Amino acid sequence: MAPVAVNEPSTTPELVDLKAARNGEDQPTFPKVDWEPLTEVPVIERGLLADPSKRALRSAAQTVRNLTPAIGTEILGLDLRQLTDNQKDELALLIAERGVVFFRDQEIDIHQQLDLARHFGPLHRHATTPIPKNGLEEVHVVYNDSSRRPDPSAFSKLELWHSDVTYEIQPPGPTSLKVITGPEVGGDTLWSSGYALYSSLSPGFQTYLEGLSALHSAVAQAEGSRAAGLHVRRKEIETVHPVVRVHPATGWKSIYVNPGFTRRIIGVPKAESDVILTFLFRQIAENPDFQVRFKWEPNSVAIWDNRIVTHSATFDFWPATRHALRATPHGEKPISVTEYERQTGKKAKDRQLDIWEQQGVNVDQIGSGGALKKRGYND
């Protein structure tokens, strides 16, 4: 959820301005139009079509490096405008495995950004956030300036963590953001891995969560827009999704709740639901082992898989301007562990255990006095 803004006198902070914003067509606007409710649409999982080695993608880049063990990869020397379809498929698989992939020095414009996003799925139109003045309804404009001072009495930092529009029937898959104008310092974004969160849990708790579903709601977001005098372009909905979903390209299990939109666990007492969600939300927001932090530069692009990560911007840059454009393709309807295994005939896996197995690590030795004997903190 975005923080509530209050009006402040305009100032002229030091900014990093990108040339894409010069003509003003990417500035935010709120058209008063009405859209029909979304219905389920077919989505092709491009990661399933990729070469697992990602040879075409890796050979075209200067550098591909992981930023943390759990999440985040940076690719240097690759032009997103020049990707072949095979390379796009391999990028989809890499994003599915690493959660978020970062690029620097990208001259891609918003039309090319939308074309890339369409390769991953049909594009989402957001019901409450601004679109650019050029009328591209599939573009989500992220905009904060000196007139929008975050009000810390209206939200907590934990509440800012979210996966995008998880209340939709088919929430997003690989989602891209390019910053047009950003502060010299601040305005970073953090992502947290749902794979890593699942892997960190005890086997009994994992099994328990796999049998649960949760309610995701657009109501608060829509009501906040109306309270600000803005038109809501599509009626808000609430949707139930599994607490643990499986990514179709990797077969890995991921926790799928977030503070921004998940309201309660279905079918359990409220006290139990509150305890479960509070624990999971705090792990998302507070456990650094699950996270990667990205400092934006001119022409930086991030592409993350909303099915397996949550994210939060840092609102530490006021009164500077932060202006970015997002392209958001729909993913498949979230699928539970049981449903995935029934449909595919494959066993859904714990990412960390699967990686250790691929590395030849004997996971049965964990904590049993073998090579992976438990150790205390000794930094």
Active site residues: 162, 164, 311, 326
Residue 41 contacts residue 122 (beta carbons within 8 Å) = yes
What is the C-alpha separation between 146 and 319, in angstroms, rounded? 4
Centre a 10 Å sphere on the Cβ of residue 160 and count the other Cβ atoms it contains.
21
What is the C-alpha separation between 126 and 201, in angstroms, rounded? 34
Query: Residue 208 carries which DSSP code?
Result: H
Which residues contact residue 359 at a Cβ distance below 8 angstroms, ignoring those fewer than 6 apart? none
The angle formed by the CA atoms of residues 171, 172 and 175, to the nearest 5 degrees, is 160
What is the C-alpha separation between 293 and 353, in angstroms, rounded? 25
| 302's tokens | 């991030």
| 214's tokens | 């949760």
3-state secondary structure 243-258: CEEECCCCCEEEECCC
What is the C-alpha separation between 288 and 237, in angstroms, rounded? 33
